[in-house]
Structure 1
Amino acid sequence: MKSIFRQVALIGKYHAAVPPALAASSRAALEDIANFLAQAGCEVVVERDTAASTGLNGLPVADVAGLGAQCDLGLVVGGDGTMLGIGRQLAQYGVPLIGINQGRLGFITDIALDAYRTVLPPMLAGEYEEDLRSLMHARVLRDEQCVFDALAMNDVVVNRGATSGMVELRVEVDGHFVANQRADGLIMASPTGSTAYSLSAGGPLLHPGIAGWVLVPIAPHTLSNRPIVLPDAAEITIELVAGRDASANFDMQSLASLLHGDRVTVRRSQHKVRFLHPKGWTYFDTLRKKLHWNEGQ
């Protein structure tokens, strides 16, 4: 079965210092997948940091901008963190992504590594479900000047320092005052991120088809401060009123230190991440499998 995708970007796990055993394992998996894609008629281009980290040689290499310009599919081999990182970067190019899970949970890298030879062929031939996920565009404003700008697929989190007490945060929605909250922090999560940190802090699950964000306090001082679902067309502003060593995290992969008076603004990005899943896939399949719900009959 031949692929309808001509050029495929191959992206794997990469870190600043990858243990030799992990690098060898990742390289072997990537080489196997690259050969499989070539047999399906695809030209494989390896993401630059993936090639450098794993030592994968003998294939064309490109940075993210190059992948976005020339590839019509991205194949991500790793965990959800790998997918979050590349998803944010490739969203502006509209490149769809397929995730092969080499991590632990795999909410958004949903094809098992040992099953890809069976699952991928019909997807490469055009038989798949497309799943669009919204991105959050966050900025940190200090004295009305933007000092940090980032995209997030899962969540934007404002929290206290590791050794300090609670923070006090002023929350506004579209310029309207909501409340001052004293807590360990505040999570603003997308539907994709509703199964991550937000869930562990007591937030609800949001179906990806819901055009909303969920605002979840972390260990609030006032127990009536509960999670609230907001429209994703709104702009949410979180101002640091009090607290030491506070920071803002974006998908837990980038971080900005905050000063009193700093304002974190979050709005919906104009870009969306495109996920491709096997034909017949539904969001509920993922929830049953990853959250170990009783499947019943």
Structure 2
Amino acid sequence: MSLQFHRVALVGKYQDSASSAVPDSTREIIAEIAGFLTAQGCQVVLAERTAHSTGLDQYPALDVATIGNECDLAVVVGGDGTMLGIGRQLARYGTPLIGINQGRLGFITDIPLEGYHETLSAMLGGAFEEDHRSLMHGKVMREGECVFEAFAMNDVVVNRGAVASMVELRVEVNGHFVANHRADGIIVATPTGSTAYALSAGGPLLHPLVPAWALVPIAPHTLSNRPIVVADPVEIAIEIVSGKDASASFDMQSLASLHHGDRIVVRRSEFRVRFLHPTGWSYFDTLRKKLHWNEGGV
């Protein structure tokens, strides 16, 4: 095998609390995969938070910027949430990512943990499909000033407060008024995010090659307020017209207590996330498996 990736970063799930270690099973999985990569001839490093959570100190621990600048590949072990977190951060460096699924659904971490050895070995040798995913750059503007900004690979969500009634949201696309939505909120989803919250809210599935966003109202007061797909070069602005305790979430990175008049502005980022999949990978195979299509029917 001719090794295509020499310095490989391993990124795993970690606890939100800095003082909490990951379960022994997760530590063992990370250690086993690190040993496998080393046996393949790779120089293995760990993401700092993964090293801290697992206590595996025999490998160099690097921050995200150093991984982006110095590593040829990142292997992500966990669920889609783990991949979203590191994917947003590494997009600016163009670092390719391979996902080993330790979670449940796994739309973007698509190599099963069981028996990953053969698949990963082939991919390290160059047998893979490359898949680029769009990234959103969102801001919260208040009286002309940016008070919060973040990247999102899945979605930007504006939600009503936990105990409040619905909110009213003014939606604009490229400065053109679309509608005032009275609803529990609204989702701006990428094709990657179209299989997440937006799907649960009744939004469409978007193929990753489609350069578009889905605008999906959450429980709208008027049933004619339907999801709409717009081209992703546009700028989307969502203004808080009325309602209490609304919040904005960018792939779960949140700003609570939005004010009336706040504008959530979403644009396409200049960066894209690079996923590598096994040879023969198909988006439709993933949909059939994860959404259980063709099961129970004739």
State the secondary structure of the residue aligned to 2:114.
Answer: helix
Amino acid at match of 1:101: N
Percent of residue pairs bearing the same amino acid type:
68
Which runs of structure 2 are paired with 1:91-106 in the superposition (5 Å)?
91-106=91-106
Are 1:270 and 2:270 counterparts?
A: yes
Amino acid at match of 1:138: G
Instruction: Tell whether the 8 Å contact from 2:15 to 2:21 is kept in structure 1 after alignment.
Output: no
Which runs of structure 2 are paired with 1:276-291 in the superposition (5 Å)?
276-291=276-291
Report how far residue 115 of structure 1 moved. 1.9
State the secondary structure of the residue aligned to 1:187.
Answer: strand
Report how far residue 19 of structure 1 moved. 10
Whole-Å Cα distance in 1 between the matches of residues 91 and 178 of structure 2?
32
Amino acid at match of 1:72: D
Q: Which residue of 1 aligns with 2:248?
A: 248
Q: Which residue of 1 aligns with 2:142?
A: 142
Judged with a 3 Å threshold, the aligned counterparts in structure 2 of structure 1 residues 157 and 20 are, in CA distance, closer, same or farther, namely closer
Report how far residue 23 of structure 1 moved. 2.5
Amino acid at match of 1:214: A
Q: Which residue of 2 aligns with 1:189?
A: 189
State the secondary structure of the residue aligned to 1:179.
Answer: strand
Q: Which residue of 2 aligns with 1:12?
A: 12
State TM-score, norm by structure 1: 0.97
State the secondary structure of the residue aligned to 1:234.
Answer: coil
Report how far residue 168 of structure 1 moved. 0.3
Amino acid at match of 2:71: C
Amino acid at match of 1:15: Q
Amino acid at match of 1:108: I
Amino acid at match of 1:7: R
Instruction: Tell whether the 8 Å contact from 1:184 to 1:218 is kept in structure 2 after alignment.
Output: yes
Report how far residue 47 of structure 1 moved. 0.2
Deviations 1:71-104 (A, max 9, x none): 0100000000000000000000000000000011
Unaligned stretches of 5+ in structure 1? none
Deviations 1:40-93 (A, max 9, x none): 111001000011112122101101011111101000000000000000000000
Aligned length: 297
Report how far residue 254 of structure 1 moved. 3.4
Q: Which residue of 1 aligns with 2:200?
A: 200
Which runs of structure 2 are paired with 1:65-80 in the superposition (5 Å)?
65-80=65-80
Amino acid at match of 1:170: R
State the secondary structure of the residue aligned to 1:209.
Answer: coil
Q: Which residue of 1 aligns with 2:130?
A: 130
